[in-house]
Structure 1
Amino acid sequence: MSTSDLINVGLSEAVDDKLAELKEMGVFADKIDGYRFGASLAIAQGVVPGDLVKRVNLYNVGSLDPDQALRRAVEALMPSALEDTTVYRLIERLADWGVNELYSQAKAGEIDFAALLDQADEKHG
């Protein structure tokens, strides 16, 4: 990882709008909670999303991941995905994918958090 890591993480513009709508719908109390859950969902699903389009800065890494739990999870569970990027660059791509997935489920009816956790358990059980 020769590339310097991010100080601030973000989302694509389109997904940032979706995260704001999820907050307005009451799915998450704060956008940062949705961001963390989106990243965690993508980690649990084992996806490795592509680069962001029209990225916007949202959170300082110290505010998003104060105990570095997200960093440690990505380093432990996705080492091969880090060959061409840095931890927080990957985390923002994961969050973008996860928030987009959550938004799709919310628009289709409601988010089944229990089913999402069961899927993660099956993949990593």
Structure 2
Amino acid sequence: MSTSDLINVGLSEAADDKLEELKELGVFADKIDGYRFGVSLAIAQGVVPGELVKRKNLFNVGSLDPDQSLRKSVEALMPEALEETTVYRLIERLADWGVSELHAQAQAGEIDFLALLDQASTKAN
């Protein structure tokens, strides 16, 4: 793992547009909440997304993860995925995947947060 990590995290331009739309639809009060949920969803689903295309900076790491709970979660739950990247670069990829997944569900009708939580708890057991 590289020792140099990001001080600002972002999304692909496409995922940023999707996150903005989720905020406008009232799914999330703030984009940063949707970003965090996207990371959590991707972790819960066990995905390891590829690199971002046309990356756009969005948040300072200190604002996104002030208590480093995201960092600690990724380090504990995905150590093998960190062999070739840094924690916050992986967090960006997870957020990008999660936001895109949430947006797809919103476009298909409505996001079923209870079903997402059930899936996560089933995978954890």
What TM bracket, shorter-length normalisation? over 0.9
Aligned to 1:79: 79
Aligned to 1:56: 56
The amino acid across from 2:46 in the alignment is G
Aligned to 1:101: 101
Q: Distance in 1 between matches of 2:49 and 2:81?
A: 10
Cα displacement string for residues 49-87 of structure 1 (whole angstroms, at most 9, x for unaligned residues): 000000000000000000111001100000000000000
Aligned to 2:92: 92
Cα displacement string for residues 6-27 of structure 1 (whole angstroms, at most 9, x for unaligned residues): 0000000000000000000000
Q: Distance in 1 between matches of 2:90 and 2:66?
A: 17
Normalised TM-score (structure 2): 0.99
Alpha-carbon shift at residue 105 of structure 1 (Å): 0.1
2:67 counterpart of 1:70:
no
Q: Distance in 1 between matches of 2:81 and 2:109?
A: 32
RMSD (Å) for aligned C-alpha atoms: 0.6
The amino acid across from 1:41 in the alignment is L
Q: Which runs of 4+ in 1 moved over 2 A?
A: none
Q: How many residues align?
A: 125
Aligned to 1:19: 19
Unaligned runs of 5+ in 1: none
Normalised TM-score (structure 1): 0.99
Aligned to 2:9: 9
Identical-pair percentage: 83
Alpha-carbon shift at residue 2 of structure 1 (Å): 2.4
Unaligned runs of 5+ in 2: none
